[in-house]
Amino acid sequence: MKVLVVNCGSSSVKYTLFEMDSEKKIAWGIVECIGLPEAYYKRQTSGSDEQKDSVKVTNHMEAAELIIKNLMAPETGSIKNIDEISVIGHRIVHGGDKFSKSVLVTEEVKDGLKECFSIAPLHTPGHYEGILAVEKMLSGIPSVLVFDTAFHQTIPDYAYMYALPYDLYEKDHIRKYGFHGTSHNYVSQRAAAMLGKPIEQTKIITCHLGNGSSLAAVEYGKVIDTSMGFTPLQGVVMGSRCGDIDPAVIPYLINMNKDYADPEALNVLMNKKSGLLGISGLSGDMRTIVKAVAAGNKKAKLAFEMLCYSVKKYISAYFGILNGADALVFTAGIGENSPSVREQICKNLSAVGIEMDVDKNNEPSSSERFVSTESSKVKIMIIPTNEELMIARESKRVLTNG
């Protein structure tokens, strides 16, 4: 059985084709910068090297056409016929309170997704365009939507509510939703397997640290809290997002500078110009920050320390609400690849039973591994995330079980 996983952004279409018997990737790639002169198509198959070409694609439909043609290319393609694909799994960032679990795409589901446009205007219209495009190219093949917010649906009301007037929740659906759910789900399952316990007997803190970052407290396989909120802006310091700030800063800024009366200007400030980038003035990319710290750059050091400190605070809070934890997991670009970030976060956490083996932490590896000391009560793990595989599994499950 083959499953095609598709992740459509506002100007990109990313895909991975899986053979589900072996759960191996057969072909994967991305069409980026749709509608722009610099558009390109980068792709690879399990048996070939990466290829990258400039392309002319003006919309998602043309991108989908390019991808399907490439997947079916006579000599080099991975499939001969579209019927070889049993199901298409779409990654959807925000399901609002409309979608609490993965669903098979119907006309009603598509209408429901349209209602989520206002809650996630940066992502959902692109997803919607992508669904229509893939549907047209692969007509007759069922599609499943897998939501980044779904794994967080078990968070209790006292944790997901904001203490704003209740009306805003009832009428405008303003509450914490949480993101990166597919990643938190995948790594918590792997962590339980590494602990050798059923997930129902584990308490796990997962740290997805990438350009966007979030943590989740996973109790017996269910999320009880997560750091991102109504949007991915809440929580820890990120590449270019500010994370938690005093909300009173916003009316203050509007009063001080009329440019900020435009909500878009505030969105850009807090989502695109803050975080590591805003503090260092250099970059939102952790590799650049780490190099600058080593070269003695003071603002880069401050940005690095702020990010690590904010993660450490959430870990400590989650240790408290879980009443202890079996494992602390690091995943995503920074979590998997930056020993110095992991070390800084885990420093002086022995009071909550978190003790890092610094040598193990520094060993280069891209495999799942433990980096805690033998005596550490909480096992520290690095687990490469695999959101695409999780979406493929979920799509197969929905297709098979409904």
In whole angstroms, the minimum distance from the beta carbon of 371 to ligand AMP comes to 15
Which residue from 78, 338, 361, 376 is in contact with ligand AMP, where contact means CB under 6 A? Answer: 338
**Rounded Cα gap, residues 137 and 133, in angstroms:** 6
- What are the backbone dihedrals phi and psi of residue 120, each rounded to the nearest 5 degrees, phi first? -140, 70
**Rounded Cα gap, residues 337 and 290, in angstroms:** 12
Identify whether the C-beta of residue 42 lies closer than 8 Å to the C-beta of residue 50.
Answer: yes
225 is catalytic: no
Both tokens of residue 28?
A: 């994967």
Residue 89 vs residues 14, 228, 355: alpha-carbon distances, Å: 12, 24, 39
In whole angstroms, the minimum distance from the beta carbon of 338 to ligand AMP comes to 4
**Rounded Cα gap, residues 343 and 45, in angstroms:** 36
Nearer to ligand AMP, 96 or 210 (CB): 210
- What are the backbone dihedrals phi and psi of residue 347, each rounded to the nearest 5 degrees, phi first? -60, 140
How many residues belong to the site for ligand AMP (CB under 6 A)?
12
In whole angstroms, the minimum distance from the beta carbon of 337 to ligand AMP comes to 3
**Rounded Cα gap, residues 294 and 203, in angstroms:** 36
Nearer to ligand AMP, 32 or 326 (CB): 32
Q: What angle do CA 370, 367, 225 make, to 5 degrees?
A: 60
Helix, strand or coil for residue 40?
Answer: strand
In whole angstroms, the minimum distance from the beta carbon of 142 to ligand AMP comes to 29
**Rounded Cα gap, residues 112 and 130, in angstroms:** 15
Identify whether the C-beta of residue 211 lies closer than 8 Å to the C-beta of residue 274.
Answer: no
Give the interface segment with ligand AMP, choosing from 94-102, 327-335, 351-359, 370-378 (CB under 6 A): 327-335
Which residue from 126, 130, 221, 239 is in contact with ligand AMP, where contact means CB under 6 A? Answer: 239
In whole angstroms, the minimum distance from the beta carbon of 255 to ligand AMP comes to 34
- Show the binding pattern over residues 155-194: x = contacts ligand AMP (CB under 6 A), - = does not: ----------------------------------------
Determine, following the binding rule CB under 6 A, whether residue 235 of this chain makes contact with ligand AMP: no
Nearer to ligand AMP, 229 or 239 (CB): 239
In whole angstroms, the minimum distance from the beta carbon of 249 to ligand AMP comes to 25
Helix, strand or coil for residue 28?
Answer: strand
- Show the binding pattern over residues 1-20: x = contacts ligand AMP (CB under 6 A), - = does not: --------------------
Give the interface segment with ligand AMP, choosing from 326-334, 360-368, 373-381, 390-398 (CB under 6 A): 326-334
- Give residues 202-231 in contact with ligand AMP (rule: CB under 6 A): 210-211
Residue 190 vs residues 56, 155, 180, 187, 233: alpha-carbon distances, Å: 40, 21, 16, 5, 27
Nearer to ligand AMP, 280 or 338 (CB): 338
Which residue shows structure tokens 């695109």?
272
**Rounded Cα gap, residues 105 and 128, in angstroms:** 11
Determine, following the binding rule CB under 6 A, whether residue 392 of this chain makes contact with ligand AMP: no
In whole angstroms, the minimum distance from the beta carbon of 181 to ligand AMP comes to 15
- Show the binding pattern over residues 269-308: x = contacts ligand AMP (CB under 6 A), - = does not: ----------------xxx--x------------------
Nearer to ligand AMP, 69 or 287 (CB): 287
In whole angstroms, the minimum distance from the beta carbon of 308 to ligand AMP comes to 12
Which residue shows structure tokens 């959807």?
92
**Rounded Cα gap, residues 122 and 292, in angstroms:** 31
Rg of the chain (C-alpha set): 21
The residue from 148, 244, 357, 359 that is catalytic is 148
Nearer to ligand AMP, 316 or 340 (CB): 340
Shortest Cβ contact with ligand AMP: which residue? 333
**Rounded Cα gap, residues 155 and 228, in angstroms:** 12
Determine, following the binding rule CB under 6 A, whether residue 334 of this chain makes contact with ligand AMP: yes
- Give residues 248-267 in contact with ligand AMP (rule: CB under 6 A): none
Both tokens of residue 307?
A: 């990010």
Closest CA to 56 of 69, 42, 41: 41
The residue ranges that bind ligand AMP (CB under 6 A) are 210-211, 239, 285-287, 290, 332-334, 337-338
Which residues are designated catalytic?
148
